[in-house]
Amino acid sequence: AQTVTQSQPEMSVQEAETVTLSCTYDTSENNYYLFWYKQPPSRQMILVIRQEAYKQQNATENRFSVNFQKAAKSFSLKISDSQLGDTAMYFCALLYFGNEKLTFGTGTRLTIIP
Amino acid sequence: GAVVSQHPSRVICKSGTSVKIECRSLDFQATTMFWYRQFPKQSLMLMATSNEGSKATYEQGVEKDKFLINHASLTLSTLTVTSAHPEDSSFYICSARVPRSETQYFGPGTRLLVL
């Protein structure tokens, strides 16, 4: 069985600051994918960033980057220059190769303070 | 990017009636779609995996006779909540997997309220 743990239920940060959301996971598989999804108040799930486990290089998407530590099974999300529109629930998710089901963490509610 | 739509966005119905929710992939063909349920302030719970042209695969504890799923085409999957009761009130979200990709893209969700 695979599990995804997000140990920070809520976080808040001042606008323009940098924030890091943590995610750890447990899987016996070697080939898998990791995702961060964002769910703003509209409740639309939006893909923020994805990482293939076989890639050592950390994924980046504009202000969003990850710190992927495969040995430690850690996949944190860093948001730089945070904006009010970043206020949302953030879910970390795991998908192992050959499976179709996403395993979600419990989420971190991030609030950006003006 | 891949776009998934859902209709309706919200629905209110009387107890005992059936409600159909549609999920469409707008700019790609999705051989696999997924249906989730989300309770307030909780994560997404997978209900079933829907494959085009075949029967859906339901997660343990999900009543297949209550939540009917049909994936009639490569761009459309439907979830029908039959004989809905107040405890079925929830937020239902669909997603679709882009072919040859491991990424799922999500619809905007449907809020169901059963009175």
Per-residue pLDDT tens for B93-113? 999 998 888 889 999 999 999
Which chain B residues are within 8 Å of A107, Cβ to Cβ?
42-43
Which chain A residues are within 8 Å of B52, Cβ to Cβ?
none
Which chain A residues are within 8 Å of B112, Cβ to Cβ?
none
The verdict on B62 touching A (C-beta cutoff 8 Å) is no
> How far is it, in rounded angstroms, from Cα A101 to Cα A106?
16
CB contact under 8 A, B91 and A102: no
Radius of gyration in angstroms for the set of CA atoms belonging to chain A, rounded to a whole number? 14
pLDDT digits (tens, 9 = 90+) for B6-40: 999 999 999 999 999 999 999 999 889 999 999 98
- CA distances to A63, B27, B28, B103 from B97, rounded to whole Å, are 25, 12, 9, 6
Question: Please, which pLDDT band fits residue B87 given cuts at 50, 70 and 90?
Answer: very high
- The pLDDT value given to residue A1: 75
Range list of H helices, chain B: none
Tokens of A21: 């959301």
CB contact under 8 A, B46 and A101: yes
Asked whether the predicted pLDDT for residue A2 surpasses 90, the reply is no
CB contact under 8 A, A37 and B106: yes
Considering chain B, what percentage of its residues have pLDDT values greater than 70? Answer: 99
- The pLDDT value given to residue A111: 98
Q: Is A10 exposed, middle or buried (0-12, 13-18, 19+ CB in 10 A)?
A: exposed
Sign of CA dihedral B20, A103, B4, B77: negative
Q: Considering CB atoms only, which of B44, B105, B109 is closest to A47?
A: B105
Asked whether the predicted pLDDT for residue B46 surpasses 90, the reply is yes
Tell how far CA B78 is from the center of its chain.
6
- The pLDDT value given to residue B31: 84
- The pLDDT value given to residue B98: 86
